[in-house]
Amino acid sequence: MTNDRYTEGLEKLREIDGEAGQKVMDSLKDIAPDLGRYIIEFAFGDVYSRPGLDLKSREIATVAALTALGTAAPQLKVHIHGALNVGCTRKEVVEIIIQMAVYAGFPAALNGMAAAKEVFKERDEKGQS
Amino acid sequence: MTNDRYTEGLEKLREIDGEAGQKVMDSLKDIAPDLGRYIIEFAFGDVYSRPGLDLKSREIATVAALTALGTAAPQLKVHIHGALNVGCTRKEVVEIIIQMAVYAGFPAALNGMAAAKEVFKERDEKGQS
Amino acid sequence: MTNDRYTEGLEKLREIDGEAGQKVMDSLKDIAPDLGRYIIEFAFGDVYSRPGLDLKSREIATVAALTALGTAAPQLKVHIHGALNVGCTRKEVVEIIIQMAVYAGFPAALNGMAAAKEVFKERDEKGQS
Amino acid sequence: MTNDRYTEGLEKLREIDGEAGQKVMDSLKDIAPDLGRYIIEFAFGDVYSRPGLDLKSREIATVAALTALGTAAPQLKVHIHGALNVGCTRKEVVEIIIQMAVYAGFPAALNGMAAAKEVFKERDEKGQS
Amino acid sequence: MTNDRYTEGLEKLREIDGEAGQKVMDSLKDIAPDLGRYIIEFAFGDVYSRPGLDLKSREIATVAALTALGTAAPQLKVHIHGALNVGCTRKEVVEIIIQMAVYAGFPAALNGMAAAKEVFKERDEKGQS
Amino acid sequence: MTNDRYTEGLEKLREIDGEAGQKVMDSLKDIAPDLGRYIIEFAFGDVYSRPGLDLKSREIATVAALTALGTAAPQLKVHIHGALNVGCTRKEVVEIIIQMAVYAGFPAALNGMAAAKEVFKERDEKGQS
């Protein structure tokens, strides 16, 4: 069954994060491959695969949380990609980040917007929406 | 125009937070009414009234962020009410909070769930969905 | 295999957290039993069951982290119990918390110490070390 | 010399925190008196006794930081007392807390204001400004 | 009236942050100009323009909070400039940051000091105090 | 006696942090040497020199806390060196960081692992274990 969780998680990870997710896994290969495996099995296989909340809403939640926390710039970038990959528009991403000024202050929103700016540029260069 | 922002914000606050929002305003009346006014004008009049992201998605973002931050239990309760008031199901609220275990750890999710439990009980007692 | 993770995790949870862990599971039963299941399967079945770090060291890490974060008082209490259950002395728990003043400031250490005080009292009443 | 640091710190603690500071020390007596001693020696003897920034400015900094962090409600209350004891007006305390909405979000400001409200009430009851 | 808030805010922003503030606005121009507008209208037009706390004290509060939070290095640099622009001495800035070791731990103070060091160097190069 | 605290702290700093500790002191020399002195006297002279918890356990606590906080990457690197210098294995460091996914979320663990990776590489280049 672990295999099923892994398989389902990997599929979900690819659907959401695309190559950004693969890069995270690669970076863990030599030092802590099990941490990568837990991300696939638990985060994507168990949690993101749950019914009851659509993927777009899940990515809205994640972009909001990571912007508010302010301690996870690389992961925020991965999930801004993810949000756009599963159906959010750039405008929606910008709105989520603006809204975080209310709950976590303007610096959190400014730093979140800097992450969005980098992601949008990366996608422009690849012709992605 | 401040008046317009206030009027629009108050309407939005009532739509989202209902009486929970009013209680927050009341608690500020004697000590810092301007802080209450800014919440109405800026948070609800400026931000929540923006086009580009629907209210349900905005509340998903807020519930996620406040659960992840872990420093805002009273406000999280207000916004779990808010999420339910603008169209989230209880199941969706529970899903958002479970997902925060991935990004902010299990204690954040557990404390968020405790807030949800209190809100659900309050609503049960009033016959609210 | 999920069954194995669950069984191993439950055993580990009982070894570490004793009845405090059971109370957490009970509190989730009606609202989000899957969150409880993930704690057993992932936190205790996957992570705490890993070789490479002894349980006492794992609890030292957890008490330190939860004291420093300052957003998880109920979970800190559970893990102070846990630390004492797997071989830490009260003196060692006090030392970990004092040390957090250096990394997270005195308020974090003071609030951690308040949690330790409650736990020590609970254990005194039950004649636990 | 430790004695000098302790003596100077205790004097400073009394000047700033009054009986609220003494209560913190008392609460540590049975569990970690050395943590109390470090607060006196390091926080008050070393840091607050430094020239280069007046006590009122130091308390403004502390009230701001503890409001923004949002994890230190008991210590925030102590330092709102402290700010008022060394020359801040209630109005100034309210202004600092409102300003934190900009840097740490509205929930931080709301929870800080709740602390201020309790402190002001305690002082009203004792006829303190 | 929005115009008045904007005009007053922009003036205040220029008084406090100088060109550093302008750079923040510029960086938002293409992605989220409204976020920049809210910073001017709300943060500077509404909050910093309030009577009841002088600008120097406001900047002391902000430098303290951003140092303690530890998630806002770029904004901390802007406000160390701001503090110096409205009358703080470098020595006072250093004192605020040292004091944060007490409330948010030594890493927060060390990272705050690194920001101060960069700002002081930038100002040395421009012959600013 | 301050001299004794300084001497004992400096010895402890060298034992734990080696040259990484010295670099921190050097970076403070021109801007805030007293902050460096407090780190030596208070953090290392007072706290790390206390009996009641062995140095290896102290470093486990610190690596866990700094990974969980997520705001102290440079200090986390210093203390991963420290942990390895006082007897932790690389495997143990990796285990502590993986465990933090449970308490502070996967982004905290991923960023902690990136710090570990850099430290391990630095040590490989110097032939250190």
Q: Do D101 and B72 touch (CB under 8 A)?
A: no
Rg (CA), chain F: 15
Q: What is the pLDDT of residues E65-109, one digit of tens each?
A: 999 999 999 999 999 999 999 999 999 999 999 999 999 999 999
The answer to whether the Cβ–Cβ distance between E24 and A110 falls below 8 Å is: yes
Share of chain A above pLDDT 70, in %: 98
Average pLDDT, chain C: 96
Q: Is residue F19 pLDDT above 90, yes or no? A: no
Is residue C102 a contact partner of residue C68, using CB atoms and an 8 Å limit? Answer: no
Q: Which two tokens stand for residue B67?
A: 């659960």
Q: Do F105 and B107 touch (CB under 8 A)?
A: no
pLDDT at D1 over 60: no
Taking contacts as CB-CB distances below 8 angstroms, the residues of chain E near F31 are 94, 113, 116-117, 120
Buried b (16+ CB within 10 A) or exposed e, E34-49: ebbbbbbbbbbbbbbe
Q: Is the pTM of this model over 0.95?
A: yes
8 Å CB contact of E34 and B50:
yes
**Within 10 Å of residue F104's Cβ, how many Cβ atoms?**
32
Q: What is the pLDDT of residues B10-38, one digit of tens each?
A: 999 999 988 888 899 999 999 999 999 99
> What ipTM does the predicted assembly reach?
0.96
CA distance C77 to C85: 12
* F66: contact with C, CB 8 A cutoff: yes
CA-wise closest residue to E12 among E34, E36, E40, E31: E40
Contact B60, A61 (CB under 8 A): yes
Residues C57-101: tens digit of each pLDDT: 999 999 999 999 999 999 999 999 999 999 999 999 999 999 999
Q: Report pLDDT for A6.
A: 94
Q: Does E102 touch chain F (CB under 8 A)?
A: no
- Residue at F21: amino acid letter: G
Considering only CB atoms, B60 lies closest to which of A48, A57, A72, namely A57
How far is Cα A73 from Cα A119, in angstroms, rounded to an integer? 11
3-state secondary structure of F52: coil
B99 contact residues in F (CB cutoff 8 A): none
Q: To the nearest whole angstrom, how far is the Cα of F38 from the nearest Cα of chain D? A: 8
Give me the mean pLDDT over the D111-123 stretch.
Answer: 98
